[in-house]
């Protein structure tokens, strides 16, 4: 295994609480297969597993370690839908296709739970997720959203929690009310991703870590993927590197922005103290545009994160700034030690809608999960496998979503977005 810290898992609570596995050998020389998958996160491991279960010979290339990116560092919240409102999807695609995307997102939740059970993935799954309102207008919006989910989409697993009841569930005065979803939940994202990778390997997938795809060529119905020490020749390619794909597929980067989100983990609080913070053990996120999210861990820590950074310039301030936000919710934790602080890069699109499609007839890509990747990335890999096998209806619904480039080009788009986010921060405060 390389001693380069970039080739190891980040110093996170998840990495400390996950099994230490020997690195899969880097690709050396030339190999051939039916499908090459680039990216060892949830989307890539899901695609590889689904393809191998269909009998395809699959090679998976991961530039660092399996689950090294956002798949192994996120807040671990499992949420229905996508990051864009259904009404906006209806404007992009029409009501029928928007409804199909909604149904697929629910299939993603079901698939995640099925895989945890079928492959016996030890990832601390817990039922229950809540959206919490800070301001009166947000509470009104939550009430309207809950009614729409029930009446228009037949989604019956949510319920509204008024302030008095919520105060008994969350040991904070910050929130006016919440919407609880019993179908959502939370998990240890790195252990879940490694569980998918293990299932893929058992199904026959050939996995290579420390094997960055440097580029690819597609011609004559074949694809050749280059790495530093080898190449993969295949009939089909799935690009699932998301925020870390970079120059491997430059055409995709214009539609994508990498943003940083941060998480801290407290010292173990003890079971009773942790239960008092979140009595129902649900995952919680607020409804601000730039949101906070938090949950309990299986060893009774509080994991608290959020406050995305679009400039990527303030990494040294991560722990103190995130701790201050935690104390804004739970001031009773003022004397608690922070054991871990880490960040992850999320891949967002301009509309926040997921971005799936093809660069060539046999080159598929999956990206733009925009913070909803735990469940959505899993079903995305399944859709890519279906499309490769000849049943592309569900994949093509997503491929029809229109996507615009981020304004400002590669050099100016990040400062422009950072300025736009100042407006949303001000809006959250109003």
402 domain-assigned? yes
pLDDT for res 38? 98
Q: Averaged in consecutive runs of 10 residues, what is the pLDDT profile of the chain (430 residues)?
A: 49 92 94 98 98 98 95 95 93 96 98 98 98 96 96 95 97 97 98 98 98 96 97 98 87 84 95 98 92 96 80 62 94 97 86 95 96 95 98 97 77 51 52
Specify the number of domains making up the chain: 1
pLDDT for res 197? 98
Helix H or strand E segment including 366: strand 363-367
d(CA 395, CA 379): 10
44 domain-assigned? yes
pLDDT for res 1? 31
Instruction: Tell if the pTM clears 0.85, that is, is over it.
Output: yes
Residue 223, domain extent: 5-73+190-256+351-409
d(CA 249, CA 245): 7
Q: What is the CATH number of the domain that holds 46?
A: 3.50.50.60
95 domain-assigned? no
Q: What share of the chain is helix, strand, coil (3-state, %, to 5)?
A: 40, 25, 35
Q: Are 329 and 172 in contact (CB under 8 A)?
A: yes
164 domain-assigned? no
382 domain-assigned? yes
**CA 306 → CA 205, 255, 326, distances in Å?**
34, 23, 10
Q: Which residues of 342-354 are buried (b: 16+ CB within 10 A; e: fewer)?
A: bbbbbbbbbbbbb
The neighbour count for residue 429, using CB atoms within 10 Å, is: 8
361-397 pLDDT, tens per residue? 999 999 999 989 999 999 999 999 999 999 999 999 9
Q: Are 408 and 258 in contact (CB under 8 A)?
A: no
219 domain-assigned? yes
Tell me the torsion sign for CA atoms 311, 312, 317, 322.
Answer: positive
211 domain-assigned? yes
157 domain-assigned? no
d(CA 402, CA 396): 12
């Amino acid at each position: 295994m390389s001693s380069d810290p970039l080739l190891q898992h980040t110093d996170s609570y998840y990495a400390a609480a996950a099994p230490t596995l020997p690195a899969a050998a880097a690709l050396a020389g030339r190999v051939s297969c039916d499908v090459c998958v680039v990216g060892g996160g949830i989307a890539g491991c899901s695609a590889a597993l689904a393809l191998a279960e269909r009998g395809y010979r699959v090679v998976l290339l991961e530039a660092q370690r399996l689950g090294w990116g956002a798949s192994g560092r996120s807040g671990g919240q499992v949420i229905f839908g996508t990051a864009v409102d259904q009404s906006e999807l209806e404007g992009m695609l029409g009501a029928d296709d928007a409804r199909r995307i909604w149904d697929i997102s629910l299939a993603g939740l079901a698939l995640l739970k099925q895989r945890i059970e079928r492959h016996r993935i030890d990832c601390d799954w817990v039922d229950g997720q809540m959206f919490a309102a800070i301001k009166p207008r947000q509470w009104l919006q939550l009430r309207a959203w809950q009614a729409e989910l029930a009446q228009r989409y037949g989604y019956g697993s949510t319920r509204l929690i008024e302030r008095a009841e919520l105060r008994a569930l969350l040991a904070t005065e910050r929130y006016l009310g919440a919407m609880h979803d019993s179908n959502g939940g939370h998990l240890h994202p790195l252990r879940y991703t490694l569980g998918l990778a293990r299932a893929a390997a058992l199904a026959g997938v050939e996995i290579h870590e420390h094997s960055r795809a440097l580029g690819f060529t597609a011609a004559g119905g074949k694809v050749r993927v280059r790495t530093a020490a080898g190449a993969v020749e295949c009939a089909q390619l799935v690009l699932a590197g998301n925020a870390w794909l970079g120059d491997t597929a430059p055409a995709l980067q214009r539609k994508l922005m990498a943003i940083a989100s941060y998480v801290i983990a407290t010292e173990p609080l003890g079971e009773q103290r942790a239960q008092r913070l979140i009595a129902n053990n649900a995952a919680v996120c607020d409804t601000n545009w730039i949101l906070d999210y938090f949950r309990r861990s299986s060893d009774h820590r509080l994991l608290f994160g959020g406050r995305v950074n679009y400039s990527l310039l303030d990494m040294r301030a991560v722990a103190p700034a995130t701790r201050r936000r935690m104390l804004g919710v739970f001031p009773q934790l003022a004397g608690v030690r922070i054991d871990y602080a880490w960040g992850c890069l999320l891949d967002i699109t301009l509309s926040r809608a997921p971005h799936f499609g093809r660069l060539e007839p046999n080159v598929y890509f999956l990206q733009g999960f925009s913070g909803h990747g735990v469940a959505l990335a899993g079903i995305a890999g399944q859709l890519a496998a279906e499309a490769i096998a000849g049943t592309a209806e569900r994949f093509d619904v997503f491929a029809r979503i229109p996507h615009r480039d981020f304004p400002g080009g590669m050099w100016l788009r990040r400062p422009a977005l950072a300025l736009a986010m100042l407006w949303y921060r001000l809006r959250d405060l109003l």
